[in-house]
Structure 1
Amino acid sequence: MSRQDPGSTVFFSLAIDGESLGYFNGCEGLSSQVEIEQRQEGGNNGFVWQLPTRVSFSNIRLTRPITPDTAKVAKWISSVQTGIKRPTAQISALRADGSLVARWGLIDVLPVSWQGPTLDPSSPAVATEVLEITHHGFTD
């Protein structure tokens, strides 16, 4: 069995209800936070209970150079105007050869914002887009 280098270049794919929105070269915000409530027990001065309450999930930002898949993102964002549907999503981390590193399923996904490129002829930078999404938790 050959071992793959975990430090190799990784890119990400995003699918909404099974429909691919393309590949992204940056992904940040895959995180969750458990809020903790402290309870002191009477008569036990040396111990404080740490009880979990809510779990919150941060927004996820995906970045990439502009591609033809940008139209799919625009269509998905525009669909929010005709009624909110909260689909599931999958973000897959892939190696350069296309093999899967990890996959995250997301529940009740909704686009939060999309930022297109700054088109400035005096700047030779790559035209990039940023898609920000929110969700209600992780799934398989």
Structure 2
Amino acid sequence: MVRNNSTNYELNYVTTNRFYVEMESNITASFSECSGLGVKIKKENYLEGGVNDQQRVILGHAEFSDVTLKRGVTDDLVFWEWLNKTVSDGQKQRRNINIIVFNQAGETMQNWTLIAAIPIAWKAPGLKASGNNVAIEELTLAYEGLKVMKKAEGGGATNLSPGRHSSGYFIN
């Protein structure tokens, strides 16, 4: 417990092994790994004449990193079917995806919503006759925006309504 100006603040840390991935208001799978989640803002440094001890930083657009999800292969083909529709049918279905992290007590600590996510890669596991490891598949997602909340709204569910808001974001 940390005390600051007679106000108590409790720090509640989470571990990296307690998370779910939710798509269309359903916890879709138990993933063993989620990597790549991040954003980087483009910047340009501007050097002003006569000011030798400073630089001006001009900010540009945000670039969101692709997210890779890994899980053990199961008989659930929800992600393959999503990718397959994107590739073969031309039905590019963007979806809002929640990555929900919780603490040891099972309380939601943070929720990252990938706005208008679309699958851009899927990788089957390597197969080896002499191996005994779990078969792991990978799904890589690109997304248009990121929403971060301390606790998930509505139990972590983000319902997807087709279309875009006037701001350009996918409606959720």
| Matched letter for residue 36 of structure 2 | G
Q: How does 1:20-31 map to 2 (within 5 A)?
A: 20-31=27-38
Aligned-residue sequence identity (percent) comes to 25
Unaligned runs of 5+ in 2: 1-9, 149-172
Higher relative contact order (CA 8 A, sep 6+): 1
Q: Which residue of 2 aligns with 1:106?
A: 114
Q: Does 1:121 align with 2:118?
A: no
Q: How does 1:1-140 map to 2 (within 5 A)?
A: 6=13, 8=15, 10-69=17-76, 71-80=77-86, 81-82=88-89, 83-95=91-103, 98-140=106-148
Assess, with a 3 A threshold, how the Cα gap between structure 1 residues 103 and 75 changes in structure 2: closer, same or farther. Answer: same
| Matched letter for residue 39 of structure 1 | Y
Alpha-carbon distance, 1:47 to partner: 2.6
| Matched letter for residue 47 of structure 1 | Q
Deviations 1:111-130 (A, max 9, x none): 01111222222111111111
- TM score, norm. by length of structure 2: 0.68
- TM score, norm. by length of structure 1: 0.81
Residue 10 of structure 1 aligns to a residue whose secondary structure is coil
Q: CA RMSD in A?
A: 2.4
Unaligned runs of 5+ in 1: none
Contact preservation (8 Å) 2:14, 2:109: no
